[in-house]
Amino acid sequence: DMGGHDTFMHKEISEQPDAVDRVLRGRIDDRFSTVHLGGLNLDPREARTIRRIKILGCGTSYHAGLIGAGLIESMARIPADAEPASEFRYRNPVVDPDTLYIAVSQSGETYDVLAAVQELKRKGARVLGVVNVVGSAIAREADGGMYVHAGPEVCVVSTKCFTNTVVAFALLALHLGRIRDLSVTDGKRIIEGLRKLPGQIEEILKSEDEIKKLAKEYAGAQSMMFIGRVRGYPVALEASLKLKEISYIHAEAYPASELKHGPLALIEPALPTVAIVPDDDLLEKNRGALEEIKARSGRILAVAHQPQEKADHTIVVPKNEDELDPILMGIPLQLLAYHTALAMGRDIDKPRNLAKSVTVE
Ligand code: F6R
């Protein structure tokens, strides 16, 4: 049941304020400015001995893991990174007893992720799951974890589950941070930010008409570039994947700082760039990248907290805490991919060559 929407993707994008509300519900502890995550099966003493976190997933779940790794590093100060599960499992990785492994999956059935979990467990590693589908194979195989409570996701491409997974990682980062060195004040600040998310997403969804108009311009593009820096880079990766999957427009995502090391050669009026430009300590650096693109007559669409002078158009999103901004900045780009694909007459809920859950190698 599409509940009055034309596609499941549109329904699922629209459901995000409620979905985020669900992942937060019952977990926030205002007394200690932390969150309770009972399913982790990780007592505080054990949590303090973790020296590294490795996050594994595929596709959109891998991108959510990249943002998650950044959240864990910045809030809990534990070295963390994400890697595609299939790459991890075929490179004979060093499995270290002080590393906590986290498997991310919407379906909980993705074979490459499941196989990585099984190999890790066979070697004695501790593996947590960040999963949407309750009781799925990865959820059962993991030593503990958290459900992201996005609700059923029917469209082949993931939207609300991506957002909820990132919020789940913010909760995990806050939890680990408050066991370690994150102050009460910072804990409070993050909790206030988390509580603002559903209302701010609601606000972003109101810019759909504006994004729809923009999408008509981009529907003719052969190729598009997505750039971001540090927290913004995984947002660029995910936005680029979403556009490719449903519109079949070729897209690339690059760290903004890497432009000058090669891809700047591609910039010309026919290759539009979507730039993630949060109002944080990297704002001036990001503006520099916009200038470089403008100097080569590239068209720019910025997602930012204030209109960007060098951009042809800015989608302005509400500001949250720096750490949580990536959650909001991805949402207008889901709508951009959606309306671009719609303008091109694509089968949005069932893009060619793709399946909702990839249970083969
Ligand atoms: C992208 C998409 C895929 C999945 C990937 C992993 O929109 O849907 O890239 O994210 O196949 O699937 P899960 O999260 O079910 O393990």
Which pair of tokens denotes residue 88?
A: 């991890």
283, 277 Cβ separation under 8 angstroms: yes
Map residue 77 onto helix, strand or coil: coil
Map residue 54 onto helix, strand or coil: strand
Q: What is the helix, strand, coil percentage profile of the chain, to 5? A: 50, 15, 35
Q: What separation in Å is there between the alpha carbon of 48 and the centre of ligand 1? A: 31
Tell which atom from ligand 1 comes closest to the C-alpha of 59: 9
Backbone dihedral region for residue 181 (phi beyond 0: left; psi -120 to 50: alpha; all else: beta):
alpha
Predicted local confidence at residue 1, as pLDDT: 87
User: Tokens 């909760």 — which residue?
Assistant: 171
Strand order in the sheet with 273-277: 250-255, 223-228, 273-277, 300-304, 313-316
Tell which atom from ligand 1 comes closest to the C-alpha of 358: 11
Predicted local confidence at residue 88, as pLDDT: 96
Q: What separation in Å is there between the alpha carbon of 357 and the centre of ligand 1? A: 7
Measured distance CA(301)–CA(322) in Å, rounded: 21
DSSP one-letter string for 317-358: -----GGGHHHHHTHHHHHHHHHHHHHTT--SSS-TT--SS-
Angle, helix 59-76 to helix 232-247, in steps of 10 degrees? 170
Task: Give the ipTM of the model, two decimals please.
Answer: 0.97
For 76-102, b/e burial (b = at least 16 CB within 10 A) is: bebebebbbbbebbeeebeeeeebbbb
Q: What separation in Å is there between the alpha carbon of 126 and the centre of ligand 1? A: 23
User: Tokens 């003719």 — which residue?
Assistant: 220
85, 103 Cβ separation under 8 angstroms: yes
Q: Is 14 in the pocket of ligand 1 (CB under 6 A)?
A: no
Predicted local confidence at residue 357, as pLDDT: 81
Question: Using CA positions, which residue lies closest to atom 7 of ligand 1?
Answer: 157
Measured distance CA(202)–CA(206) in Å, rounded: 7
Map residue 297 onto helix, strand or coil: coil
Q: What separation in Å is there between the alpha carbon of 241 and the centre of ligand 1? A: 11
Predicted local confidence at residue 261, as pLDDT: 95
Q: Is 114 in the pocket of ligand 1 (CB under 6 A)?
A: no
The neighbour count for residue 32, using CB atoms within 10 Å, is 10
Predicted local confidence at residue 360, as pLDDT: 80
85, 113 Cβ separation under 8 angstroms: yes
> What residue type is 124 in one-letter code?
G
> Which residues of the chain are modeled with pLDDT < 70?
none
DSSP one-letter string for 111-165: HHHHHHHHHHHHTT-EEEEEESSTT-HHHHHSSEEEE-------SSS-SHHHHHH
Instruction: Please provide residue 150's backbone torsions phi and psi, each rounded to the nearest 5 degrees.
Output: -80, -15
99, 125 Cβ separation under 8 angstroms: yes
Beta strand 34-35 pairing with 28-29? antiparallel
Question: Using CA positions, which residue lies closest to atom 5 of ligand 1?
Answer: 59
Tell which atom from ligand 1 comes closest to the C-alpha of 57: 16
Map residue 248 onto helix, strand or coil: coil
Predicted local confidence at residue 356, as pLDDT: 83
Measured distance CA(310)–CA(324) in Å, rounded: 25
Predicted local confidence at residue 358, as pLDDT: 82
Tell which atom from ligand 1 comes closest to the C-alpha of 133: 15
Q: Is 59 in the pocket of ligand 1 (CB under 6 A)?
A: yes
Instruction: Please provide residue 307's backbone torsions phi and psi, each rounded to the nearest 5 degrees.
Output: -55, 135
Which pair of tokens denotes residue 245?
A: 């999957």
